[in-house]
Amino acid sequence: MRYGYRVHGPWQPAQGHRFNPAKLLLDPYARRVEGELKDHPLLHGGHDEPDYRDNAAVAPKSVVISDHYDWEDDAAPHTPWGKTVIYEAHVKGLTYLHPELPQEIRGTYKALGHPVMVAYFKQLGITALELLPVAQFASEPRLQRMGLTNYWGYNPMAMFALHPAWASSPETALDEFRDAVKALHRAGLRSFWTSY
């Protein structure tokens, strides 16, 4: 099921109120988002005066998902902070060009938990992997106008939804990420992610 919110209230920009039911909003707690945030005039709500054109046709939608996942006996390792060695990495940047990974999983969540990467992390001697932002993010309008995309992910649009480009499909992103976390835990590695 896809959905969004239409919020009613006063239009009083001077007081910080810009309610506009014509503008479909994402659920801030959405676990999956369908569609990209594009630089489209219908998505702008107006500055001094409200824009009452409906944006539903171009707005990203929140998606209801099943939260079922078999974590089996998974538990995060408890390495003391004084002995913790953190490796910070970008999901795609870390794995996209790795020659020992199968081509079809390079640059994805699946690659993070692949035995080749787990062995690499162990060889480095790290105890934790910190991922740069993995929440679904948008490319800034300026980048879109230049034909570019946001690579780093520091423009989140849904803090509880994973960025779908690093999964086999948007529908499998959460399970692929969970599988990677579980594989890291089994190897004695903690996992963190930057959320801003």
Structure tokens at 87: 């490796």
pLDDT at residue 181 tops 80: yes
What does the pLDDT average to over 142-156? 93
Structure tokens at 69: 């996942």
Share of the chain above pLDDT 70, in %: 99
pTM (two decimals): 0.90
Residue 180 in domain: yes
Strands (E), the chain: 2-3, 11-12, 17-18, 32-34, 61-63, 86-89, 128-131, 135-137, 156-162, 190-193
Residue 71 in domain: no
What does the pLDDT average to over 139-152? 93
pLDDT at residue 45 tops 90: no
Domain that holds residue 39: 1-65
Amino acid at 79: T
Query: How many domains does the chain fold into?
Result: 2
Amino acid at 86: I
Residue 135 in domain: yes
Q: Do 182 and 99 belong to one domain?
A: yes
Per the CB < 8 A criterion, the answer to whether 51 and 45 are in contact is: yes
- We report the CATH number of the domain holding residue 21 as 2.60.40.10
pLDDT at residue 96 tops 70: yes
Q: What is the mean pLDDT of the chain?
A: 95
Per the CB < 8 A criterion, the answer to whether 40 and 60 are in contact is: no
